[in-house]
Structure 1
């Protein structure tokens, strides 16, 4: 989401609910200062205008998002499913566009096909533009794929009657999304009072809410797994104590303290657990690698905003979870191990 439309978007305060952008005020706007901030990975200007793509048999309502020479082709490359990204250098009027896979399927278009777009302005005749499809993208985010096409900002300027240096907004990309709240006030100090900044989390709150629910589910699943692990490891310890009752009595007869015997059983139980933890990690990582490279499990993007179950193989998280489970299990064994202190040496030696 952020890689498509920026983590922070700067717009004019005169903007309305229309998809036709209002010219961004240059008064107080310092794009160079914004780009020089250490948390900022880049910034690109844009302008948008609403219209219709029309073929002989069908049509589709679209938003032409015009981008300029600062458009980051490498960042957008991940969304491309066919064709290529045009060179929007602003030196000449470029009639090549990138459309979404959904629009391409609806209008039966493919790379290098021509398409007519119609744009309307108040009290004026419709404006016709002929474009050539150079690329097809897919983000799996419905609000993007349904309507947005990418083209030359000069096309939008001509349709909107803007000057050659006017822009409709500024998309700012961060190196680390977690710095969003920290960097936001710095951005606001460099945009002037006639413009305003908007976080991507505020622009698309429904997606953020879905991600928060997903994070809650992860926490719940890890919690349930931890409870199951603790119960199972306690049962293993209790079974070992029952099976080795004679050995406990013998050790007490030889002078071993309850604390020494407890540490023996706890360590032995953890030694049983560690190989299982290693094997479980190997199996889990293997399945995750298969999903990462082959995308076996798929989802409906209209409901989940992704078509394939994403995989994040962060070694730090994997190590923290494994060590955390091992630590919690070790602590949970302390209380059941006190059962050993209740075993009498004489009774234990007679136990069969």
Structure 2
């Protein structure tokens, strides 16, 4: 009967202590193994955290301009079309009552020319109301605030928030008045009070925000006429399904549409360059995750092989005393698991520390013209961290099953032989 039944944990602790007190080579090998796992895991965690940050920022920017679903004049280009759509109050109520729609935001967009005594610049204005979801603009405010949208008759002057590139180029400061010229059948000029400047992306013409009523008066449109509608969904991941359901619902109620020809598009369809860029980043991250898993796994395999070979005499003694191959395999797997968990702990702490430093101090800067943002974004997602940690532990344990089987090839008579 074996003396070692159920004692794999005890043996693993003993081998770990002797490894730490043993030769510098073995002790250093165990430290390098732990560091290899820690480095690989921290790189994976930071990579996913950064990619999620990019995804969140790009999604906020893209959908703040188009919505998850855009309704505009059929056949028009949402970026620069001045073709208006008439939206009846009944249609607006119907859209807002759909269970999958979070909010419906009307937009009026108008191109103009911001001019000072010394310079001029083209500017795209978005007329917005209180339903506008301005999270992206609010999070990226460099100075001031977003404009008030409840502009009433007799209000002294409408407010405007400019992108930082335009404000810096024109030398405009918060609190000053800016003049914007609009061209059509005749030139018109409107004066706005600059109340805010936001950190815009690398888009060629980031929008300025102003009250929707100011542009309705400029174009002499009634309260039910807009450039387009933006639909924000409760579940953006189901946008394609919700769009199909919306089209089917509208086809059943032609009275809501009347004579107006609407074009309905997904936000991702309207800005494919942004989402294709995100897909490219995702591909790179998958490749990096696979590479780091292999680095961590092979580091662990190397350390385990060195440890098994170094402890061959102890293994021979344990076998002579009745220890089975299965017991010894479990022992070395437990020892490897302790090293992996230690490395994972340091890897998590390192990734968390670096992520928090970047999130608060933005030390690593980016060129907005290439990356649509001024610094490397960070977004912590607990589910992603848990998944990466669990997956790393499982995959590395699977990878070390083969080297753990080396103990079955060690023969007591050979390993205990005195040279």
Common topology (TM > 0.5): yes
For residues 119-138 of structure 1, the aligned pairs below 5 Å read 119-121=182-184, 124-138=185-199
- The aligned residue for residue 116 of structure 1 is 179
**Whole-Å Cα distance in 2 between the matches of residues 17 and 85 of structure 1?**
23
2:58 is matched with which residue? none
| Conserved? CA contact 1:300–1:306, under 8 Å | yes
Matches of 2:116 and 2:209, distance apart in 1:
18
- 1:67 — aligned with what? 128
Q: Which runs of 5+ in 1 are unaligned?
A: none
Residue correspondence of structure 1 range 234-249 to structure 2 within 5 A: 234-249=301-316
- Count of residues paired in the alignment: 348
Q: C-alpha offsets along residues 88-125 of structure 1, whole Å, 9 cap, x if unaligned?
A: 1253265221111111011100112112211111xx22
Q: TM-score, normalised by structure 2?
A: 0.77
Q: Where does residue 4 of structure 1 map in the other structure?
A: 64
Is the aligned partner of 1:169 residue 2:228?
yes
Alignment pair present for 1:289 and 2:356: yes
1:20-99 alignment to 2 at 5 Å? 20-26=81-87, 30-72=91-133, 76-92=137-153, 95-99=158-162
Shift of 1:3: 4.8
**In structure 1, what is the equivalent of residue 164 of structure 2?**
101
Runs of 4+ displaced beyond 6 Å = none
Query: CA, structure 1 residues 119+140, in 2 after alignment: closer, same or farther (shift >3 Å)?
Result: same
- Following the alignment from structure 2 to structure 1, what is the Cα–Cα distance between the partners of residues 151 and 81? 20
8 A contact 1:62–1:148 mirrored in 2: yes
Name the CA distance, whole Å, in 2 between partners of 1:31 and 1:58: 41
Check if 1:307 corresponds to 2:374: yes
1:178 aligned to 2:237? yes
TM-aligned CA distance change 1:35 to 1:76, over 3 Å: farther
C-alpha deviation, 1:317, in angstroms = 0.9
Question: Is 2:289 the partner of 1:230?
Answer: no
Query: Using the alignment, how far apart are the partners of 1:177 and 1:18 within structure 2?
Result: 22
* 1:27–1:194 CA contact under 8 A, matched in 2: no
Taking the aligned partners of 1:113 and 1:239, their CA distance within structure 2 comes to: 71
Task: State the SS of the aligned residue for 2:225.
Answer: coil
Q: If each structure's helix is expressed as a fraction of its own residues, which one has the higher value?
A: 2
Q: What SS is found at the alignment partner of 1:64? A: strand
CA distance in 1, matches of 2:73, 2:395: 53
Shift of 1:130: 1.8
Find the counterpart in structure 1 of residue 215 from structure 2: 156
Deviating more after overlay: 158-167 vs 131-140: 158-167
Deviates more, 1:12-21 or 1:209-218: 12-21
CA contact (8 A) 1:21 1:169 kept: no
CA contact (8 A) 1:68 1:152 kept: yes
Superposition deviation, residue 72 in structure 1? 4.2
Shift of 1:264: 0.9
Alpha-carbon contact 2:200-2:206 (below 8 Å) kept: no
CA distance in structure 2 between the aligned counterparts of 1:38 and 1:224, rounded to whole angstroms: 43
Select between 227-236 and 253-262 the one with higher mean Cα deviation. Answer: 253-262
Structure 1 distance, partners of 2:328, 2:378, is 44
CA deviation string 1:9-68 (max 9, x = no partner): 210116357724322233697223333334433221111122211111111112222123
CA RMSD of aligned residues (A): 2.3
Shift of the 196–310 alpha-carbon distance from structure 1 to 2, 3 Å rule, reads same
Tell whether the 8 Å contact from 1:230 to 1:332 is kept in structure 2 after alignment: yes
CA distance in 2 between partners of 1:231 and 1:336 (Å): 10
Alignment of 1:134-149 (within 5 A): 134-143=195-204, 146-149=205-208
